[in-house]
Amino acid sequence: MAQQDGTTGSERIVGLSKPAAVERVVDADESRDPDTVRAVLDHVTEDGIVTADGVDSAVTDTSMILSTAETRVELASIDLDDAREAAGDDAAVGAVRSRLDVFEAKVSNATERVESLGERVQGLSGWRDDPRSVYDTVLGLREVASEAQALTAHADNVQLDIEEFERWLSTHDVRVRGLDGDVAALEQSLDGLADRVAFVADGKDADTPEAGGDDRATEWYNAALRTRVSDLLVEDVRAELADLRELAPESAGEDDGLGDAAADLDELDARVERLRGRLDDLARPSWTDEYGARIESFEATLAAFEPPVSWGAVQAELDDARVGDDG
């Protein structure tokens, strides 16, 4: 039968001095770090003694921290409802729908997490009748508190993102600036890709590992993957441009601020094709023999993505396909 402090055997520590409690907990499981045990027990120590009141206070404190997280998640959910209402019929536009879908996933995940933490606190609050050790109870409470604090910060960030989305939704100029930023980021990405192609080209006569042949083979392959991703990125930004034109107010007319972005995308699209053609020209039979099928497989994978694109998923596919340290 469990003791009054919720522990049995060698880890019954309520009423012990903190040093004695630390020693007992570590003796019961030598994998535990004494400094970590000491830090955990600090939260239930009063006047140098591990007390039942200290554990009860830890339960109360953790419940309060979790309550804050619950409130912030609920506020994020309310903000999401408001954003959906503000979107109205525009929610059917891809650029709007994709953003709302992201917020929906984040809020849903946060809600599930906060509910799970609530169940954990509920289970830990009955510690006096729980056969687990006081140390494990307090450690569990500290873990819940830490996760709840992180969840609070996450929910706050989601709220800020939703507020930014509502500004984007209501203001054409904000949407134009966002698109211009996407175009600039694409241009910067292609600058990096051009450097990689130049590396391959500079070693075009090097066939041996001593001359860097192996490095250039993998660099050629990784660059080839990135050209395929760049094709998809251009397509995605073009789709965003089309959506922004659909969202543009009638008062914007032909001078909607999107013409420069359209021209820039045409130029960047042509640049991707030039880089891809350059890599094709640089390819050696041994490289295509080794990597050709993998490139084709990657192309097939990317073909499943359609705008608006989940770039986290694309990045995961790229990370899985590339070779070596291609950060």
Q: What's the rounded Cα separation, in Å, for the pair 188 and 191?
A: 5
Q: What's the rounded Cα separation, in Å, for the pair 310 and 313?
A: 6
Residues 6+ apart with CB under 8 A from 234: 186, 265, 268, 269, 272
Q: What's the rounded Cα separation, in Å, for the pair 174 and 93?
A: 17
Query: Any idea which of 145-149, 198-202, 231-235 has the lowest mean pLDDT?
Result: 198-202
Q: Average of pLDDT values for 160-164?
A: 98
DSSP H helices, 203-310, are 213-247, 259-282, 285-303
Confidence of residue 325 (pLDDT cuts 50, 70, 90): low
pLDDT at res. 132: 77
Q: Is the pLDDT of residue 186 over 90?
A: yes
3 state SS of 51: coil
Which structure tokens are listed for 75?
């506020």
Confidence of residue 131 (pLDDT cuts 50, 70, 90): confident
What's the whole-number average pLDDT of the chain?
90
Which structure tokens are listed for 175?
């949407």
Longest dimension (CA), the chain: 80
Q: How many CB atoms lie within 10 A of CB 113?
A: 18
- The three-point CA angle 51-52-57 to 5° equals 100
DSSP H or E stretch at residue 49: strand 49-50
Asked if residue 165 lies in contact with residue 188, where contact means CB atoms within 8 angstroms, the answer is no
According to DSSP, residue 248 is labeled S
Confidence of residue 255 (pLDDT cuts 50, 70, 90): low
Q: What's the rounded Cα separation, in Å, for the pair 90 and 10?
A: 64
pLDDT at res. 302: 97
C-alpha 139 chain-centroid distance: 27
Residue with the bigger pLDDT between 167 and 12: it is 167
Q: Is the pLDDT of residue 164 over 70?
A: yes
Q: What's the rounded Cα separation, in Å, for the pair 190 and 71?
A: 44
Q: Is the pLDDT of residue 205 over 90?
A: no
Could you read off the pLDDT of 4-49 as tens digits, one per residue? 444 444 468 899 999 999 999 999 888 999 999 999 999 999 999 9
pLDDT at res. 253: 64
